[in-house]
Amino acid sequence: MGYGKGHKMAGNWTKISVEGNTRDLDTIVSVMSMLDNGLMIEDYSDFSLNGMYGELVDDTILNANKDIVRVSLFVPEERNFIEYLDFLNTRLPALGIEAKITTDGICEDDWAESWKKYYKPIHLGRVTIVPAWEEYEESEGEIVIRMDPGMAFGTGTHETTRLVMKIMQDEIKGGEKLLDVGTGSGILSICASKLGAEHCWAYDIDPVAVKVARENAKDGGITNMTVDVSDLLYGVDKTVGKFDFCVANIVADIILRMLPDIKNYLKEGAPLILSGIINIRADEIREAVKQHGFTIVREEQENDWVALLVK
């Protein structure tokens, strides 16, 4: 289906568009639906002039590339559109989707500054996420993590990140070797380090995320964190032995790809936190977890997102 001209809505909105190959349409729609169900889809691959209105079709539709689709969503001004961009910039490459992401009315050069007005200290139990540029006086016993996520996913404002951090605060006892799959900005490994993990190995398929995570670890004085590029588990350093703890804040499809192999990287009974699960896919993940020999010992939910602790 196609809607050649963009539609208008009341109020101030940021339009985010993802342009990709027609063969990837279903996947692009699935990922963007995790953010909003009100999508505008421009797909002219099956358009025909044989209908009764063929002569009235706009030239832009007639000349459109039939191999390219564009899917757009609209973010209201009270929402942090940068979190949407972070999510798409992380999830689409992780699924092997080559796509161009654009925004309407916001210059790309202004992203790094314009999003900061949305990012304020976030209190998550004993942990507080503080923007690197903000002055903040920590309380006694408070664990403060200073972050400048740049364009990498993981500011602590998204439900998927918060759910993992909530569980980690209860489950990390100290001295663990921790594996972080899909680290994004590195926030979960940094948090684990501050909670007492002995060493964290953090991996991401995106070299930009790896660079950001390394910088965040360095700026935060974290010396027990190794960050590297890996497509899921393929680049994980096996020479360090099996891990005591694992966190994977990714999407349902990637969790399903990971589950058959993850036990080979974990010690017997090691906690595994799975997040990034939209609630409409939660039953599918629960069933897959059981099929691969894991037991669900805890479940947390916030809005439309679910996180599972399995062993």
What pLDDT score was predicted for residue 123?
Answer: 86
Q: How far apart are CA 288 and CA 29, in angstroms?
A: 23
| Through-space distance between the first and last CA atoms of the chain, rounded to whole angstroms | 44
Checking if the pLDDT of 8 tops 80, the result is no
Torsion of CA 40, 43, 48, 54, to 10 degrees: 40
What pLDDT score was predicted for residue 7?
Answer: 38
**Domains of the chain: which residue ranges?**
13-105, 152-310
Whole-number mean pLDDT of the chain?
Answer: 82
Q: Minimum mean pLDDT among 56-70, 88-102, 152-166, 259-273: which range?
A: 56-70
- Domain 152-310 - what CATH class? alpha beta
Q: Assign 136 a pLDDT band (cuts: 50, 70, 90).
A: confident
Residue pLDDT, tens place only, 260-279? 999 999 999 999 999 989 88
| 40 class by beta-carbon count within 10 Å (0-12 exposed, 13-18 middle, 19+ buried) | middle
What pLDDT score was predicted for residue 47?
Answer: 46
What pLDDT score was predicted for residue 110?
Answer: 53
Checking if the pLDDT of 151 tops 50, the result is no
DSSP state of 243: B
Per-residue pLDDT averaged across 107-135, rounded? 71
Helix (H) or strand (E) holding 274: strand 272-278
Query: Which residue, among 13, 1, 112, has the nearest Cα to 46 in the 3D structure?
Result: 1
Residue pLDDT, tens place only, 216-227? 899 889 999 999
Checking if the pLDDT of 6 tops 50, the result is no
Checking if the pLDDT of 130 tops 90, the result is no
CATH number of 13-105: 3.30.70.120
Q: How far apart are CA 283 and CA 308, in angstroms?
A: 11
Q: How far apart are CA 9 and CA 152, in angstroms?
A: 29
Strand partners, 307: 300
Per-residue pLDDT averaged across 62-82, rounded? 77
Q: Do domains 13-105 and 152-310 have the same CATH topology?
A: no
Single-letter amino acid code for the residue at 175: G
